[in-house]
Amino acid sequence: MKEIRLRTPRLLLREYRWEDLAAHNALITDPDVMYYIQDVFSHSFAESLDNLAVAASSKYEDPADREFVFLVIADPETEEYMGGIGYSVLERSPAGKRVEPGYFLGKQYWGKGYATEALAELIRYAFEDDGARRIDGTCVADNKRSARVMEKCGLKFEGERRGYEWHVDSVKSRRYYGLTKEEWEKEHGKR
């Protein structure tokens, strides 16, 4: 299989490797980094190893059949691990895939536009190369940074479920965003 390698002006998005384990473990066991991503938050090295095994194994599947795409956000010159990004396929139809993205970065990279740059490229890949027809984004309502990243990448706010879920220590609301391929193409002069 051909490895996915996507470049932006400041980033390389590449598939996971076993050599990423130490850096991956350091991030997904960090309670600050994973505060809003409790389903990925790891409590042990063994959990991190299992998580990486799932991420790394996806590159061996036929891209058309993948249930998810997980990529490392890396420095393009050194390939240093900065974080992770990807999406899960929520639905397949004759019109295309509906996918949900997720992303996280080491704290030293917060507030520098890296998440926005990486998500914009992932969206481009999903629409142009992977048959996506719609991006469905979501975040806990008080995760203003993630909401802003999605908005900067063109996802439109579609609603909020108030008092929707237990998150860490209290019940919180969840916000929903969406972007169709047609909207993205119009915004990027593809139509």
List b or e across 8-26, with b for residues whose CB sees 16 or more CB atoms inside 10 angstroms: beebbbbbbbeebbebbbe
Q: Summarize pLDDT for 38-72 with one digit per residue, the tens.
A: 888 888 888 888 878 877 776 555 566 678 899 99
Strands 132-140 and 96-105 turn out to be parallel
User: All domains of the chain, ordered by start, with CATH?
Assistant: 5-187 (3.40.630.30)
Mean pLDDT of the chain: 91
Q: Which residue has the higher pLDDT, 174 or 3?
A: 174
pTM of the model: 0.92
Q: Summarize pLDDT for 128-164 with one digit per residue, the tens.
A: 999 999 999 999 999 999 999 999 999 999 999 999 9
Tokens 């993630």 correspond to: 146
Torsion angle in degrees (nearest 10) through CA of 183, 178, 59, 188? 20
Residue type present at position 90: L
